[in-house]
Amino acid sequence: MTEQDWKEKLTPEEYYILREKGTERPFSGTYNDFFEKGHYVCAACGNKLFESTTKYNSSCGWPSFDQAIEGSVKYTKDTSHGMIRVEVTCAKCDGHLGHVFDDGPKDTTGTRYCMNSVSLKFVPEN
């Protein structure tokens, strides 16, 4: 899709975060304190990204997961904002989802996928 197509498909906030690599304010997202059973997909293209069983409360202000569905995301070195981080994007549409860190739960993967709620849509378990 062209950037114009994305602008027409997405809300202004979704476009800012998914296409311009923005970030929602901490503790403001729909899924920060949301723990229903189901899975999460990319808000732009519907690619299945995370199972609800991998979501946990990290108290960081954004939805956190300890594992992505294999092959669903891509990782890119991000040196913006004067730090080195790993950006997480949708493997299907390249939409910006958030960043991944190595400070997650030690009893599972040790990984924290710090995602923007705006980049996600929840699909309830049937």
How far apart are the C-alpha atoms of 21 and 1, rounded to whole Å? 17
Tokens of 62: 């954004």
**CA–CA distance from 1 to each of 6, 64, 85 (Å)?**
7, 28, 27
Catalytic residue among 45, 90, 93, 114: 114
Residue 114 annotated to the active site? yes
- Helix or strand holding residue 62 (H, E): none
Catalytic positions: 114
